[in-house]
Structures are given as C-alpha cells and as structure tokens.
Structure 1
C-alpha cells in the first residue's frame, strides 16, 4: 500500500499541478520567442543561393550588434520584413565597380564569393530611377545591406530602402532550422 503524499492527493490537485506546469512553460516560451528569439521564414529569392524561399532561420536581438557579413532581419523597409546581409556599417564608404561588377567597401573590392555568391554580379544598376548615387558613406547608427541574389534584391542600393537604421533590425540570424540539410549555426 502506497502511503506517499501523492497517493492521498485528490485527482484535481494533480491536474492543477500539471496545468500550472504547462501554463508556466507556455509563458516562458512566449517570452523567449517575443523578446529573445524568433523563427523567421524566408520569403522570396533575394538571398539565394544561401537562403531559399521557405527556409527557416532563428534570429535574436541578443546576439550583439550586427556587423559586416551578418544576415539580419529588417522591419519598416518597404513596409515588409526583409532578410539581408550587412555589407557595410557606419562610417564605411560603399561603391560599386562598374567593370568588375563587385562591391567596394572603403576602397577594397569585396568579391561575391566572400558571402557565398557569384563573383561579378554586384552592380548598382544604371537603368533604374530609384538607385542611389555612389559612392555613399553609411551614416552613424545605420548599416548598408544587400541581398545575396544581387540581381533580384530590393536592398540598400534602392532609394526606397536606403541605409537601414539599426533600430529597424529585428535581429541577427544565428541558426538555420530548415531545410534539414542546412540545420546548424549561420556562418
């Protein structure tokens, strides 16, 4: 015969204890995913070949300030959420080599393969009315972002997006969640 306290407790007490545990766990998960980390689904092809439409990444605002090379999720640009790569930070000068088709930061060519893209595909298109004039210096508190798929990306080259205020960065991508072949830390 079991004489423990649990055996003498009425069923409703055990149910209430379980309910309390479930509610506490739900509250913790809600706080974590509201303030510390979020799962973002990539929408569109602007980050190919590194991120495809439907890929999922974990982002966090607790991983420190975004720096050159980081993949970030941005709000308030074009009234939608964008995932892009930071290629320059405050005080850096951004330009594009018209012959090589490469990004230039502070006078140094940054080949596409540095970020897993093709070399020779990074232009500031001259046939569009909404392209910034270059060179540009990134203002204090801002970053310059590009999509990895430079031919199909609405990014900081466009006047409608422009330099991104750091306050509009939801967070840095820190972990790839989907597809299973890419699960792991973001490089």
Structure 2
C-alpha cells in the first residue's frame, strides 16, 4: 500500500467517524438543553412572578390547615377584598403569617364583638369562609380607619387568630405582603385553587 493510498483510506475513515461524533455531541447538547431550559424557566417564574409559602398554625381554619404548601402570586399583585395573603414579618424576626384581606386604604372597619359581626364602611360583610363569629377582641378599638398604604387582615378562624385586631400585627403595610395565595399544591388530596 502506497503512502497516497494510506492517506486516502485514513481520510475515508475520518469521514465515516465524523457523523457519529457530531451525533454524540448533538445528543449531549439536546439532553442538557432539555433540562436547562425548564430549570431556568422555573427559576425565572419563582424569582419574579410566584413564590412558595407554608401555612403555620390554625388561624386560617377551615380554609387552610397547618403545614399546607401554597403558591403565591407575586408580580403585579395589589390586595383585594377577600384575598388570602402571606405577610412577611422578617423585620421583627417572626414567621410570615397567612391572613385574609378585610379592609383596604380608607376603609372604616367595625366589629361588633357581641354579635360577632364585621362591618366595612357601614356594610355587614358576608363571610362564608369563617370558622365561627368574631368574638375575640384584642387591644385595637373599633371602629378603626385603615391608613394609606395598608390593609386590615384577619384569620378565618377568628377566635384563634392574631391579626389586625391586635397591635402586635396592626395594619399591614402592603409592601410587606409577599403575595396572594392562589394555589395549594400540598397535601395532594387538597390540590387546587384557594378561595
């Protein structure tokens, strides 16, 4: 075999092996891409648009139970009446709390502790979500006006909830709201939206 023939044979062998090498590299690239793109999308969503939270305690019974895991709507969220929200309390080194928005900026809240009724701007609230009438009073005097940039929040388990009726919580600055609880993803038998 001449040198020229050997070179031609080596070139042919090189060409025959090239598609396999490209195929292996392409396959590895596709494999990495199939994991990397969803991971980046997941990180982007949970960094800017949504957040995860855990219910701690019984203050939201019967709507939410201790240990349930929630997905929060975060980006572009503005509190509305009846929303279940998570309030960040890290400034006071305390755990976040889950409560329901009862009043917004400018509203006048009145609670009749004898009847257990809650009024907003002289209108009795229809509250099918509560566990029992509101009998527990803390140190806030009613009626009370919700100041600018704040919301008045209460737990659904009214007589077992520390909320805006107490100066320990008080009116919640909307900047401390981490988001609206929109979806329960654990436990799986309660998988679904939150109302």
State whether structure 2 residue 8 is matched by structure 1 residue 15: no
Shift in Å, 1:133:
1.8
Partner of 1:93: 108
Asked if the contact 1:103/1:122 (under 8 Å) is kept, the reply is no
Which consecutive residues of structure 1, in runs of 5 or more, have no partner in the other structure?
126-130
Shift in Å, 1:116:
1.3
RMSD: 2.3
The one of 55, 62, 65 equivalent to 1:42 is: 55
The secondary structure found in structure 1 opposite 2:71 is: strand
Partner of 1:105: 120
The secondary structure found in structure 1 opposite 2:103 is: strand
Change (3 A) 1:153 1:34: same
Match runs of 1:7-156 below 5 Å:
7=20, 9-62=22-75, 64-76=77-89, 78=92, 79-111=94-126, 114-125=127-138, 131-156=139-164
Shift in Å, 1:173:
1.2
The secondary structure found in structure 2 opposite 1:172 is: strand
Shift in Å, 1:13:
4.2
TM-score calculated relative to the size of structure 2: 0.80
Asked if the contact 1:96/1:123 (under 8 Å) is kept, the reply is no
CA distance in 1 between partners of 2:120 and 2:181 (Å): 22
CA distance in 1 between partners of 2:192 and 2:156 (Å): 19
Change (3 A) 1:6 1:175: farther
Shift in Å, 1:182:
2.8
Asked if the contact 2:61/2:131 (under 8 Å) is kept, the reply is no
Which consecutive residues of structure 2, in runs of 5 or more, have no partner in the other structure?
1-15
Q: Greater share of strand residues, 1 or 2? A: 1
TM-score calculated relative to the size of structure 1: 0.83
Deviations 1:66-88 (A, max 9, x none): 11100001102753211100001
May I ask how many residue pairs the two structures share in their alignment?
177
CA distance in 2 between partners of 1:80 and 1:32 (Å): 23
Q: Greater share of helix residues, 1 or 2? A: 2
Asked if the contact 1:44/1:52 (under 8 Å) is kept, the reply is yes
Partner of 1:128: none
State whether structure 2 residue 188 is matched by structure 1 residue 185: no
Deviation beyond 6 Å, 4+ runs, structure 1: none
Shift in Å, 1:137:
0.3
